[in-house]
Structure 1
Amino acid sequence: MMLAVSLLAALGIFSGTHASPSPPAPEPIEVFELPLPPVISNTTEGSCTADINPRGTGCIHQVFDEFQAGDFTPDGKHVIVNVEFVGAPAAPNPASIYSGEQAILIKADGTTFPNGDTWKCLSCGVPAGNARSLDPERDYPHVARNGKQALWGHNIIDCGDFALTSSQCTPNQTHIYPIHWPTSVDGSGKGGIPREMRLHPDDTHMGWSSFTSTGGQFAYFGRLQFNPSPKDGIPLAPRYDLVNVNVLIQSHGVGPIMANGTELQLHDEAISVGELRGFSGSGDEILYIGSPREANNIDVFAIHVTTGAVRRLTSHPEYIDPLAFSHDNNWFVGMDTRGSNRQMWMSGMRYIPPLIDLVTVTAASSTRNNGARRFFQPVLIDRYGDRDTYFGQGVNVAGNGSSGSVNDPNWNGRADPAFSPDSTKITFWQAIVASPDCGGVNPLVCPVSTADGGRTYRVMLAHLTKRSPQQPAPIFQIPDKIPWATPFPPGASAPNQYHLPAGNYTLRGKVQGVAHAIITSNPETGGYRSVSVRYEDYSDVKGYVINGTESVTSINTPTDPWEVKLEWYSDLHETGVVTATKKTGPGGFHLSTNAQTNLFKADGTLTTTIDGVIYEQPANGT
């Protein structure tokens, strides 16, 4: 269902920031679970017996450690997933090929493959000569639009002249090539380490992110070039090289927050690509997590490949991350915490400028999880994004919330969702909350999985039943050079970006009022030690007036860039369209978390209240 207008008014989360077409009406959606291979909990050799799988085509692990679902094949009838086969008998039994981490196709139309299975393994049994020096990173499976290739982590599965779905796409016809990112001038070494690679709709270009040793993150864009006989770099095997690489930074561009003397200026047009999350349906825009426009509110943005024009796609106070556009370029589906109230205690008060985010952004990005437990569920939004009273439609809300139902809150959405090529179906996958993120000392009781074999993960198919099939949008032609980005040839380093100096500043509201900010630096980390702000009748949006103070101090240890420790004091009041407060308790609020584990501890309280509705931070470990 669509989020209720009355509820949005009570929360004060109207966006009202740009003129766009009227929001679409809610539409009927039916959700089903897709079949997977048989499940076993015993992983010892030979435990996948003929009684469990008579066709000898493998059994998969009960837990989701290596599992990940991807997107559709071009016919819309199959979905690619990454599984872990366990319990295979020893060679020379033919079933021994169904072992370890593998990429498979599963049926999404209720039919079977010729052998009677609802799945087909793409990587099992590929001869060693056809799969040399594979990269161990095999996540985020993605089928190319040509249907003959698939991205498999840092590898490309290639079936030559045959579609991956074809019975002629056999192990002997299949090749798997590693992807190499040459980052040194002489070509030596393993090269760069891409993260969460995304294939562009043209099947030739790619985008990815990469962390620095100090915890920073940059996004990159390049072209795949087949190298049949590499002379340098690792591996020295047929591979795909990433060439014509750009780092997605505008050299000498404006920053999101800049100083002009003692005045602060906010630049919504600033290019601040954080984590790359994919592409629009036609490939004309790059999708990414960007610098917040509002305090503690993490959103998704789109930037045009050639013009550099930036669009804010989401503005809801909750957290969004994985997302995918429809091939017709008219919709996107995002995995979002909206409806869970997971982030409302931190970000629920709207239109606070993102000043404290200089020290809180990592915390805002990591508190949306409790370890492996996520609070994501899929939300369908049109291409223009959140606006006015429109915040999309929940994809899997039509259930009774019981154990195993399509909207069972204990089944958490994972990355990545995807649209069928005709834009009438959506696939997404979920994992059920499990120990230690429930049970034991955690006050949340661990649920019992109702999936086949007690499986802790499931793949879902959402059918948009009133839609007629749509043609994909024409694929955008990528230029040889992205005009606004910075070339990143081997041996290059990322260009310096604008860094706001520490100091005492004034920020004038777009509508009225002023904010006085004191920003101090942290010489140990190169970042900021603290931000303290006093608001005096401050307003960036008509009808939302902020008064009060807020200050946050980072007490990080520089030895671990992922560790976040904050001392937070807030006494903010908002009047006008809503009456809201954001307040810490006596002694303030002390938060510690690690961005790699997403487990946080809190002492004290930070509470946001909007028109009498109270949002408190979660208790430790929940």
Structure 2
Amino acid sequence: MLKMHSFRLTTASALGVLYARLATAAVPDPPAPEPIEVVELPLPPVTTGSCTPDINPRGTGCITQGIYGEGFQSGSFLPDGNHIVAYVTFTGAPEAPDPASIYNGSQIILIKTDNTSFPNGDPWKCITCGVPAGNSPGKSDTWDYPHAFQDGKRLLIGTNIVDCGEFLLTDSDCTPERTFVYPIRWNVTPDGSGAGGAIRELRLHPDNVHLGFSSFVIVDGTVGQFSYFSRLQFNPAPTTGEPLVPRYDLVNVTMLFSPNNTPPLTIDGDEIIIHPLPNQVGELRGFSGRGGEVTYIGYPTESCNIDLYAVELATGSVRRLTAHPEYVDPADVSPDDQWTVVMDTRGTNRQMFMAGMRGVPPLIDMIATTVASSIRNNHQRRFFEPYLIDRYGDRGDYSGQKISEAGSGVAGSGAINDPEWNGRADPRWSPDGTKIAYWQDLTASPACGGVNPLPCYKSTAQGGRFVRFMLATLTSRKPYTLPSVEPVSDVVPWGTPYVPGDPAPTLPRIPQGTYTLSGATSGSAEVTITENADDTSIKSVAVQYNDYSDDGINFINGYENYTRSNPSPSLEVADWYSDLVRTGETHSTKKTSPDGFHPSVDLFVNIFEANGTLTTTVDDDVYLQPLNYS
């Protein structure tokens, strides 16, 4: 009898067989599970009105409930390993000249991780509260992805750098009057004028000299993205560009893309050739612990399977960090490069209805990745859980160790493993490799309730708080001390030096026509590509598989047809028809309803809505798509 699985159930154990061919003789056996202790870190008290002495007797501020996680984010450890930096939102502060008036709005705090307190008795310290306006001219309003420099005196917060001069951020001498906030500017004009380019997802390189970032572009009516590597250079007195205040400029910028690099797919006559592990960086996610690699989301190795990759800055060599068919995005590599902690939808079955059939070549992915990647969320609701994976990645029965495993698992219970508490970006390693900090938020309306078929649960946290910051300790590990990472070269040989004013490049694509992809061992796939009316992008990809096999063990037959349209740059509407059968070590099918599967997804909103169905079956396990709005 077939076992019907919704997207919220545990991934079938039968998938372990499907990973077997990922293992090689050079890869060691997977590690055994290890003991992990998870605790919640302290935060300022919550108020929904005024922050009175009854709520916080020390007068050091109150925070909002953080519904949808807005205005909150856990960040990296300080170099001492005993503090993390975090972004929070204060509320209810009294009017000036009350000293507590400074605890208001978006702020950056430090949180103790060792059960100690700052001299005033609080286990947290606000770094940006009360910084005079004259110390922060031109600062931007983005405060996300807070990250500490290794000098312990500076922080990267959004598109700003916080600097306490000669003092450590943890010192009592690091006062608001001694703290400065400098904006970061990327010049995109030939004459250096203007406000600079829009940058997002900033990540500090371990050498504390370089910075990685991503930037959106609109190409042929759709949203695209490129990633960049740059050097931070303090400019105390700029003469061009906005803002004309002391700032950090991004210099020696390199786009992590080159038209000279081999793309994921090429043609030779009427043959399509797939090039696994191309060095074509999608969204930059960070750097390896020792800084030799950039981690990123790249072109799929298997159809509809969004994975994490790493590319060497010096050589362009690429390796695949994850292989599970679920979606991965936030990640951090351990300081010694031997482990990766990821936020992944594995274990929820959120993506299995379209990615559960393994070994399907990434052909419709020429145009299907926007939909494949956007279904991972239901707007503000994530389905991420933190997983610990060794350097060699998913293989055999090994798909990492879930960090947030302890507890009853009952929805709404507030347990460590309460499925309604959703993992968010980014998890972070401690410098000694023994601890991981991560954060979560509780599902809130409209991501539950109303038209959404999922129930809402009341928060059990103090003040009805919807956010919590967590600390996972790997109790059997011994701490290590590593030398500082030496500055790497500004030059990325496989990238393209950015020249201000240059237009965004157009990604290479296969021209319209009918081609053949030969299986590595047998069979083939006939691929028909159709361009849009303006011949500016691919509109549809149709594939017919005939005993297609890359390993001589598993064979794919059937067809898949994907057509897209973009009513707006960020909105994608798909018409998807699939009837695939995979035989061999497992029996899998990937089938749409007779009228097809028609999802509509805005990549800036990520609310799942579709007509028709797409269902994947792996042996006796059936994976269904999410319910609309869920």
The two structures have a TM-score, normalised by structure 2, of: 0.95
Q: Paired residue for 1:431?
A: 441
Q: Paired residue for 2:471?
A: 461
2: CA distance between counterparts of 1:196 and 1:48?
A: 33
Q: Paired residue for 2:4?
A: none
2: CA distance between counterparts of 1:593 and 1:459?
A: 30
- 1:127-138 alignment, distance < 5 Å: 127-138=132-143
Question: Is the contact between residue 231 and residue 253 of structure 2 (CA under 8 Å) also seen in structure 1?
Answer: yes
Residue 592 (1) aligns with residue 597 (2): no
Secondary structure of 2:203's counterpart equals: strand
Q: Paired residue for 1:508?
A: 518
> Aligned-pair distance for 1:491?
2.0
Over 3 Å counting, the alpha-carbon distance change for 1:325 and 1:10 in structure 2 is closer
**Further displaced range: 396-405 or 110-119:** 396-405
Render the CA deviation track for 1:126-173: whole Å, top value 9, x for unaligned.
122211111111111111122111001000011111211112211122
Q: Paired residue for 2:180?
A: 175
Question: Is the contact between residue 68 and residue 83 of structure 1 (CA under 8 Å) also seen in structure 2?
Answer: yes
Residue 154 (1) aligns with residue 159 (2): yes
Q: Paired residue for 2:556?
A: 546
2: CA distance between counterparts of 1:455 and 1:113?
A: 23
Of 211, 214, 226, the residue aligned with 2:234 is: 226
Count of residues in Structure 1 that have an aligned counterpart in Structure 2: 614
Secondary structure of 1:39's counterpart equals: coil
Q: Paired residue for 1:184?
A: 189
2: CA distance between counterparts of 1:111 and 1:451?
A: 21
> Aligned-pair distance for 1:8?
4.1
Secondary structure of 1:363's counterpart equals: helix
Of 404, 407, 413, the residue aligned with 1:396 is: 404
Secondary structure of 2:396's counterpart equals: coil
2: CA distance between counterparts of 1:252 and 1:499?
A: 14
> Aligned-pair distance for 1:592?
0.8
Secondary structure of 2:101's counterpart equals: helix
Of 41, 56, 59, the residue aligned with 1:56 is: 59
Q: Paired residue for 1:327?
A: 335
Render the CA deviation track for 1:114-134: whole Å, top value 9, x for unaligned.
100011001111122211111
2: CA distance between counterparts of 1:353 and 1:473?
A: 42
2: CA distance between counterparts of 1:289 and 1:414?
A: 16
2: CA distance between counterparts of 1:117 and 1:58?
A: 11
- 1:190-589 alignment, distance < 5 Å: 190-214=195-219, 215-402=223-410, 403-472=413-482, 475=485, 477-524=487-534, 526-557=536-567, 560-589=568-597
Q: Paired residue for 2:13?
A: 7
**Further displaced range: 574-583 or 250-259:** 250-259
Letter in 1 for 2:173: Q
Question: Is the contact between residue 262 and residue 275 of structure 2 (CA under 8 Å) also seen in structure 1?
Answer: yes
> Aligned-pair distance for 1:601?
1.1
Question: Is the contact between residue 337 and residue 375 of structure 1 (CA under 8 Å) also seen in structure 2?
Answer: yes
Question: Is the contact between residue 217 and residue 504 of structure 2 (CA under 8 Å) also seen in structure 1?
Answer: no
> Aligned-pair distance for 1:490?
1.8
> Aligned-pair distance for 1:492?
2.3
Question: Is the contact between residue 230 and residue 490 of structure 2 (CA under 8 Å) also seen in structure 1?
Answer: no
> Aligned-pair distance for 1:555?
3.1
The two structures have a TM-score, normalised by structure 1, of: 0.96
> Aligned-pair distance for 1:498?
2.3
Over 3 Å counting, the alpha-carbon distance change for 1:65 and 1:92 in structure 2 is same
2: CA distance between counterparts of 1:157 and 1:469?
A: 29
Residue 96 (1) aligns with residue 104 (2): no
Letter in 2 for 1:177: Y
Render the CA deviation track for 1:248-288: whole Å, top value 9, x for unaligned.
01232111011111000011142110000000000000000
Letter in 2 for 1:309: S
> Aligned-pair distance for 1:230?
0.5
> Aligned-pair distance for 1:440?
1.4
**Further displaced range: 469-478 or 139-148:** 469-478
- Which ranges in structure 1 are unaligned for 5 or more consecutive residues? none
Secondary structure of 2:13's counterpart equals: helix
> Aligned-pair distance for 1:6?
8.1
Residue 27 (1) aligns with residue 40 (2): no
1: CA distance between counterparts of 2:317 and 2:365?
A: 23
Question: Is the contact between residue 252 and residue 498 of structure 1 (CA under 8 Å) also seen in structure 2?
Answer: no
Letter in 2 for 1:122: I
Secondary structure of 2:463's counterpart equals: helix
- Which ranges in structure 2 are unaligned for 5 or more consecutive residues? 1-8
Question: Is the contact between residue 16 and residue 397 of structure 2 (CA under 8 Å) also seen in structure 1?
Answer: no
Residue 165 (1) aligns with residue 170 (2): yes
2: CA distance between counterparts of 1:78 and 1:371?
A: 31
Render the CA deviation track for 1:509-544: whole Å, top value 9, x for unaligned.
112210111011124583211111111111123422
Secondary structure of 2:591's counterpart equals: strand
> Aligned-pair distance for 1:213?
2.8
Render the CA deviation track for 1:455-511: whole Å, top value 9, x for unaligned.
001000111010000223652541131111100032223344422111100001112
Question: Is the contact between residue 282 and residue 473 of structure 1 (CA under 8 Å) also seen in structure 2?
Answer: no
Letter in 2 for 1:265: I
Question: Is the contact between residue 61 and residue 91 of structure 2 (CA under 8 Å) also seen in structure 1?
Answer: yes
> Aligned-pair distance for 1:388?
2.9
Letter in 1 for 2:56: N
Question: Is the contact between residue 12 and residue 349 of structure 1 (CA under 8 Å) also seen in structure 2?
Answer: no
Over 3 Å counting, the alpha-carbon distance change for 1:430 and 1:602 in structure 2 is same
> Aligned-pair distance for 1:15?
5.0
1: CA distance between counterparts of 2:85 and 2:538?
A: 43
Residue 16 (1) aligns with residue 19 (2): no
2: CA distance between counterparts of 1:36 and 1:602?
A: 40
Over 3 Å counting, the alpha-carbon distance change for 1:591 and 1:15 in structure 2 is farther
